[in-house]
Structure 1
């Protein structure tokens, strides 16, 4: 059997219909999206939401769907490779011990390339710039991940991140605050461009 090429996702419409026997069932893709992605506080969905927020701020091409297993999360119009990490104090589940402690994964990984279905031979960080996204709001009753005023961001070049020697696996919020400046959503693009120019 011949090998199969990488099948890229195509941008779908909320009005796309499920079908059986060639006939529409009446169920739409929007219904699936609403059912499966409405919990914006869940770790998995919040992480993808953070990527979307950063992609919009950077002017990334949103007509190209995100690729789940790409070696990095985003590519800016300038070609800068960006990795997005997210964390939050408030979670969807019960938190008997109170607010979550904030840390972000920064571990090296074996990059996977969909076009060739091959993994890199050595662990590394493949992005040029990292954007750390913190949903800082601490009131569970009013937390709203779609309110960009409830988020803050830190931007680090790969050079700065590689210079962080305390851990190769994770970085706490305190450590991040010691080596970068907290910024609002409106400054993400400016800081990513600045960080990349220092690489």
Structure 2
């Protein structure tokens, strides 16, 4: 009988060749990645890209495969559950003005992919949120791979629940009322400090 359980993905190297019944073809997985993932300013790509940046800042395990449907985005080396949200001033398309950054903070039900069911409680499931802002404002020089162009705001979920219990989105000005920006190298200590402040 066909097993319809969850498929556990394994990390690829990019060198895997496409193939057919006769053997390998002359294009590989990295060619798909380059075609599909090179627009780092696109909202969809930037979301996963920001998760990867924060994962590296937190020394989270990136040797596995990103869990697109997890109840939170990352688990830090310390064990904390981390949700990453991203926004920016620039888009890849023509703009008449800079975008107004905003971040989704919508509480949600957890989805369990092993059973294809949703949990009953609607809440924020992470311990802490890291809001990753691509803060650069010049299209001629924007480069999402330049970590100095990013600013990060770290807010514990407890603080978010207290200040914005039912909010679905958070503007940049509202976010700045909760936390100040930190650099890539300061993210890990800011995450730990946010939890320590709530425990004190």
- Same-fold call, TM cutoff 0.5: yes
Query: Deviation at 1:92?
Result: 0.4
Give the alignment's TM-score, normalised by structure 1.
Answer: 0.95
2:141 corresponds to which residue? 142
Seen in structure 2, the aligned counterparts of structure 1 residues 28 and 116 have a Cα distance that, compared at 3 Å, is same
What pairs up with 1:163-178 in 2 under 5 angstroms? 163-165=162-164, 168-178=167-177
1:42 corresponds to which residue? 42
1:152, 1:185 within 8 Å by CA — same for their partners in 2?
yes
Task: Give the Cα separation in 2 of the matches to 1:118 and 1:81.
Answer: 21
What pairs up with 1:159-198 in 2 under 5 angstroms? 159-165=158-164, 168-197=167-196, 198=198
What pairs up with 1:26-175 in 2 under 5 angstroms? 26-96=26-96, 98-165=97-164, 168-175=167-174
After TM superposition, the structure 1 stretch with the greater mean CA deviation from structure 2, 177-186 or 35-44, is 177-186
**Structure 2 unaligned spans of 5+:** none
**Structure 1 unaligned spans of 5+:** none
What is the RMSD of the two structures over their aligned residues, measured on CA atoms? 1.5
1:6, 1:114 within 8 Å by CA — same for their partners in 2?
yes
Give the alignment's TM-score, normalised by structure 2.
Answer: 0.94
Secondary structure of 2:151's aligned partner: strand
